[in-house]
Amino acid sequence: MVDILNSLTLLTNYIIIPGLTYGSQLALGALGITMVYAVLRFSNFAHGELMSFGAMSTILITWLFQSYGLTFGFLPTALLAIPFAATITILYCLATNSLVYEYYREKKIDPTTYLIISVGVLFFTAGLIRFIIGPDDRKFNDGNRFILKAREFKELTGLNEGLAIKTTQGITIGITICLVILLFWFLNRTRTGKSMRAYSDNEDLALLSGINPKKVVIITWVITGILATVAGALYGLDKSYKPFIYMYLVLPVFASAILGGVGNPIGAIVGGYVIAFSELIFTFAYKKVAGYLLPESLAPTGLIQFLSTDYKIAVSFVILVIVLLVKPTGIFSGKTI
């Protein structure tokens, strides 16, 4: 019995909590990509850099707040900074929209060309970020580190294994839930949200029913800017902010969006968690778990690990390839929001 509890604690500590956290970050990122795809009809490869831009803005504002001695008690100051950082990121999105994307949208350019243009924006944004904050690793998490410490958990339960929940993990999961509820409320209950869905569903009809495309496009960028900032800042808060990492992060984020059915918000969320959990499940060493559950004579000698953690990112690609072969439209057959 105790063995079972111990192994459950082990799995919760190393798979479930980190999976929910990482999955939330992927889901928020994938939602941003899906919104742009559904409304503006292109794959925005610059989204990873938008997340980086959002995280950078959060750091800058956090520093500003800290320099005035403003903190958020036991919570990270970054939480206070996120709304301001999101505003900056939204302005940046709108600037790229009116300087770059709008021009090509009016020309009704094909989606592949659009994709290449977004790669251009990616490089520009990446350069801008290096220019502003430099390439170094930044830690900006203050406040309490843990909601639940491993030692406290052990004392509380008397188990061998500890369970630790970092503040950032709790915050990530909590904020993701709030943001997703808010997004779905917006899309399904408000007129503006409905007109976005209508525009994504049938552009010609939407235009002839009096929907102003400029307004829809602007709102899409506002939502994308918010999602990117929150996703980027939470990721940076949880690990640390490395400007380069977002260029790699965009890969599992894209895999999540495609896996769920790009253009479908529910798909993006499900995709995010599926990718996150698969990465963890396939790279976790089950040696200890087996040690608890199996009789001593059968105790394993190896790590019992499907893949080394070095291949983490490959997991999302294998899943992606399988999805594209079996059901190219993704789990939820995306296209419209």
Partner 1 sequence: MIFVKNLSKNFGGIKAVSNASLTINEGSITGLIGPNGAGKTTLFNVIAGVYPPSHGKVFLENENITHLPPHELFARGLMRTFQIAHEFSSLTVRENLMMVPENQSGEKLIDIWIRPSNIKKEEAEITKKANEVMDFLQLSSLANEFAGNLSGGQKKLLELGRTMMVEPKVVFLDEVGAGVNRTLLSTIGEAIQRLNRDLGYTFCMIEHDMEFISRLCDPVIVMAEGTVLAEGTAEEIKENQSVIEAYLGTGQKNKKLR
- Which residues of this chain interact with partner 1, rule CB under 8 A? 190-192, 194-195, 197-198, 201-202, 204-213, 336
Q: How many CB atoms lie within 10 A of CB 208?
A: 9
Nearer to partner 1, 112 or 192 (CB): 192
Nearer to partner 1, 94 or 211 (CB): 211
Please give the full DSSP string across 198-221, using - where no structure is assigned: HHHH-HHHHHHTT--HHHHHHHHH
Structure tokens at 63: 């520093």
Q: How far is the CB of 190 from partner 1 (least distance, A)?
A: 6
Nearer to partner 1, 188 or 309 (CB): 188
Q: Which ranges of the chain would DSSP assign to H, the alpha helix?
A: 2-11, 17-40, 47-67, 78-96, 102-106, 111-133, 150-157, 167-189, 191-201, 203-208, 213-238, 245-260, 265-283, 287-293, 312-326
Nearer to partner 1, 194 or 242 (CB): 194
Q: How far is the CB of 38 from partner 1 (least distance, A)?
A: 10
Nearer to partner 1, 204 or 296 (CB): 204
Nearer to partner 1, 93 or 206 (CB): 206
Q: How far is the CB of 189 from partner 1 (least distance, A)?
A: 9
Nearer to partner 1, 202 or 240 (CB): 202
Cα 129 to Cα 149: distance, rounded to the nearest angstrom: 35
Q: How far is the CB of 207 from partner 1 (least distance, A)?
A: 4
Q: How far is the CB of 30 from partner 1 (least distance, A)?
A: 19
Amino acid found at 85: A
Q: How far is the CB of 228 from partner 1 (least distance, A)?
A: 20
Cα 10 to Cα 211: distance, rounded to the nearest angstrom: 53
Classified as helix, coil or strand, 169 is helix
Q: How far is the CB of 210 from partner 1 (least distance, A)?
A: 4
Amino acid found at 213: P
Cα 115 to Cα 52: distance, rounded to the nearest angstrom: 19
Q: What Cα–Cα distance (Å) separates residue 65 from each residue in 49, 59, 70, 79, 82?
A: 24, 10, 5, 11, 12
